Structures are given as C-alpha cells and as structure tokens.
C-alpha cells in the first residue's frame, strides 16, 4: 500500500545532517592518519552536495 511521504523541510534537513555525519565518520575512518582535518567549508560543501543529490536543485534553490 502506498503511503505518501510528506516531508517537511526540517525532516529533509535532518536527513541531510545524518548523511553528513556518516560522511564525516567514514572520511575519518578511511584515513591512514588520525589527525584528519575536516573544515567547516568541507562539511558545508558536503551538505550541499547531499541535498542536491537527494532532493534536486529546485528544492535547493527554494531553500535559498
């Protein structure tokens, strides 16, 4: 049975945050060094990439 996925913007942002945290964890785990530096700019760029990849540019443009 089909159930509509009415997501609020907050729900979408929560999923993007969760995916970004997973990305940070995997990036640190895949590094050979323990002193991996992930800047705020890297995190923001990854959030934008995940958002656009999952929800498209139209919704991303709406966000701005």
- Give the tens place of pLDDT for each residue, 16-29: 899 999 988 888 88
State yes or no: pLDDT of 53 exceeds 90: no
User: How far lies 47's CA from each of 1, 4, 8, 17, 34, in Å?
Assistant: 32, 25, 17, 7, 23
- Name the band, by pLDDT with cuts 50, 70 and 90, for residue 55: confident
Comparing 27 with 1, the larger pLDDT belongs to 27
Which pLDDT score, from 0 to 100, does residue 4 have?
A: 57
The SS3 assignment for 35 reads: coil
Q: What whole-number distance in Å separates Cα of residue 39 and Cα of residue 32?
A: 18
State yes or no: pLDDT of 64 exceeds 50: no
């Amino acid at each position: 049975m089909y159930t509509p996925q009415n997501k609020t913007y907050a729900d979408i942002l929560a999923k993007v945050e969760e995916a970004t945290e997973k990305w940070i964890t995997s990036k640190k785990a895949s590094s050979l060094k323990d002193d991996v530096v992930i800047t705020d700019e890297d995190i923001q760029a990854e959030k934008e990439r995940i958002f656009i990849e999952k929800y498209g540019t139209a919704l991303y443009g709406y966000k701005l």
